[in-house]
Amino acid sequence: MNADLLREAARRVLGESPDPPVRVRLLREVLQRPAHDAELIAATEALDRSSHVRVLLDEQRDDGSWGRFHTKDYAAKQKIGRTEKGVQRAVELGLPRSHTVLRKVRTYLEAVLKGRVQIPDRAERHANWPTGVAMFAGAMLSTFAPESSALDETWEFWSSVVRRSFATGRHDLDAELQAHRQILGRSGKPAWMRLHSKYVVMVLGSRAERLPPDVEAAYVRWLWEDCPKGLVYVDVPLDQYPQKLRGWRLHAWLRLLELLSAFPSSRPSAEPAIKRLLSARNREGLWDFGIQPSCPRFSDNYRRKGVTAHDWTTRVTCLLSRYLAE
């Protein structure tokens, strides 16, 4: 029933001639059209006409990056101020893995993970910086190429940490920190490289089906129930109503749900959030939270009537489809 509701919302938006990123994502993720579908092929070929995609193409450097990786370079005067953002936008806009933007950045990310390329960010002066670089690069690669062998070492490390940390069925902080010391020979204390860091969740979620089911379930339960401030880098509690959130907080809350949807056991814990999102539809059966700062856009021109509903309905239906897939 709920899956039918999502498909109906997608068809309603598609009937209003939305911009290419909206068409691609709704056709592929909500209506689940196959790769050879003529309508999906046409929408994908039209992506380069999107102003958002043009920015990605114009600002991407020859090495596949967008300059700095994790920290924004304000002197660069770019709309895409760091490579992380470039990857996120490419995925949000629905670019296929074969697109030149993702092919180039994949080569770059794999080179970083294999130690052949150093990121241009200023290195932090502590022993955990190499672990952080691998975590950042691995998380970005995992969003569109989780099968890459360049990700293996990073995923195996965090898999070992999570398995040791949840060996008893509950999170054991001492075991988590001890895993870092035993495997790497240094402390895992910094909050940004703990198991509730956004980047660690991204890495583990990319191959979540490979985790032992009992460990995966315990980990997801802990993220939902015992991390009241949300994830590190996404500091928004999960127990929120989307209608009451604005700007960055709304984006972060939806991002949390997107990240956690990668784990097989996430649906029961997400049930309250799913119900809240389903109840946030307008009279037309669409979602429209209006123009919100710091929230990703898919359409080119927000002056067109109904375009904000195109973007929000795309994001919400694609998200809910991950939880409500039949």
Mean pLDDT, to the nearest integer, of 171-191? 91
309 φ, ψ (degrees, to nearest 5): -65, -35
The residues pairing with 231 across neighbouring beta strands, listed in sequence order, are 234
pLDDT at 226 over 80: yes
pLDDT in the model for residue 141: 98
Query: Please, which residues bridge with residue 197 across strands?
Result: 232
Question: Could you report the per-residue pLDDT of 32-91, keeping only the tens digit for each?
Answer: 999 999 999 999 999 999 999 999 999 999 999 999 999 888 888 899 999 999 999 999
| Residue 282 neighbours by CB distance under 10 Å | 12
Averaged pLDDT for residues 291-300: 95
What band does 1 get if pLDDT is binned at 50, 70 and 90? low
Q: Which amino acid is at 147?
A: E
From the list 80, 115, 101, the residue with the least C-alpha distance to 143 is: 101
Extents of the domains making up the chain:
1-46+240-326, 50-122, 128-235
pTM score, whole prediction? 0.96
Cβ 150 vs Cβ 113: under 8 Å: yes
Task: Write down the pLDDT at residue 72.
Answer: 85
- Calculate the alpha carbon distances from 94 to 39, 52, 76 in Å: 14, 11, 26
- Please give the pLDDT value at position 125: 82
Token digits of residue 157? 């490390």
